[in-house]
A = this chain, B = another copy of it.
């Protein structure tokens, strides 16, 4: 990915004068936009940065249009996927999509940008990470930040009250990229959500079963799924004496427990967030409880303090119900009820969950869960964590109502698979593995051992395509047999159909197995069947 310099002069060689002129205008606008922006709350650093950028531009233009260094790169925080990465990506997507389909999900798609207003007020402080489009006349637009808000907009707009859908697409965040750790500004989300008014915890349990299925099938090593409930957290904070307006900020402190010891979290609660030490200690008693299953929920229901909170009791009763379903679904081996799980809570209203990989060494350096439901969660964190979060989600019963003109609610629960980190793990595994990743599916190469057989090669290739066989032919009049065979070795094509004068006379093709170098004559009439037979096992 080395950045290459390219002289501006060369690049402009094919341009009309109008284009160059446009560049100058753009620069002048930028200068004025700088002045503008300084009025709307820029920091000193930002202004310095802008000035540097403008001076750089000015220098380039002053230089009589020459020597502009064109940097050959992708935008910051983004990457291309090469064919090998795409092959891995396709495999991961197939596993995930198969699982979603096994659970009867439909799929939808929404545009990459939404009206700016649609995203407004949904992400709290993280709104600053939203990419806005330039106002070129017309509507004010922003790139989608997740798939959940567009989903809620879609439901409200089309008055849909019942749907089980998945959506796999890219989302955009102007975050500090950490690409070696799988954190990008453009990244995929794989979301599965169930919308509708149903009996308690049945769809919620299915979401957890889906996480279990996907992580098991992808063979990423051992994992654990932590579960908690927004109502339990709220109730717990209330009975510990946290003022209502501090629930949110204390949540985000508690959320750090998987990255730092309790003492540090407590310090933050007391010194930064200004709560009395005894309140922090009471919170500590709960969040430091050993994670458990249904028994822990039972135990907490007996807790005289928590019993005072209706919200906590409702949450605990539902956790018990959830675990009874999870037992039927045979996934309790991996699921734990963990009071310290807080996640981003902007639109969560009930159960929340997060899956982490527990096997050291498999997971790459940590990256945030790119969950559509994470809101203010892990996305902004930069600190080291011991395990990797690879899925997350929860119940959000109020979001659709924010879009409905009459405020009609559509209860929703969903899960997002943190696919970028999974890609990273799979890529690492592929690199360590001896097995070569194929980037094509070609079954046979049509080759010739002698010269002047291009037409015969093309004719045979055409016949194979007609029969649905995946076949390649070299785009050379007289390629060497060796280079044709080498191409098969390089790309993993298992068979070569070799034509020669003698074969043409005999109405046969020499079919060669690349791995064993065995060759045998096959009649033209039997060729397709023979290729199918030999490639069906692989």
Contact = CB atoms under 8 A, between A and B. Distances in A.
Interface of A: 1, 4-7, 10-12, 14-16, 18-19, 22-23, 25-26, 28-30, 32-33, 35-37, 39-41, 46, 49-50, 70-76, 78-83, 86-87, 89-90, 101-115, 117, 120-121, 124-125, 127, 131-141, 143, 153-154, 156-158, 163, 165, 170, 172, 174, 186, 194, 196, 198-199, 202-203, 205-206, 209, 213, 324-325, 328-330, 398, 402-405, 407, 439-442, 454-455, 458-459, 462, 465-466, 468-472, 475-477
A169 B133 CA distance: 19
A23 B120 contact: yes
Given A30-B135, A83-B106, A132-B133, A465 B113 contact: no
A206 B472 CA distance: 10
Contacts of A324: 455
Contact of A157 (B73, B137, B143, B158): B73
A29 B19 contact: no
A282 B339 CA distance: 84
7 contacts: A33-B33, A35-B36, A36-B36, A46-B137, A75-B111, A112-B112, A134-B134
A166 to B, nearest CB: 10
The 9 closest A-B pairs by CB, nearest first: A198-B475, A83-B106, A78-B111, A104-B472, A32-B36, A15-B121, A81-B109, A202-B475, A132-B134
A439 B209 CA distance: 22
A40 B33 CA distance: 11
A186 B112 contact: yes
B131 A458 contact: no
A466 B213 CA distance: 9
Contact of A76 (B33, B138, B209, B466): B138
A18 B125 contact: yes
B49 A137 contact: yes
Contacts of A75: 111, 113-115, 139, 141
A186 B111 contact: yes
A462 B209 contact: yes
Given A199-B476, A475-B202, A111 B74 contact: yes
A190 to B, nearest CB: 15
Contacts of A439: 106-107
Contacts of A7: 405
A111 B79 contact: yes
A472 B79 CA distance: 38
A196 B86 contact: no
B121 A14 contact: yes
A458 B199 CA distance: 13
B101 A459 contact: no
Contact of A196 (B33, B73, B475): B475
A403 B72 contact: yes
Contact of A121 (B12, B111, B403, B407): B12
Given A23-B120, A165-B83, A102 B469 contact: yes
A350 to B, nearest CB: 14
Nearest to A86: B107
A56 to B, nearest CB: 12
A421 B121 CA distance: 37
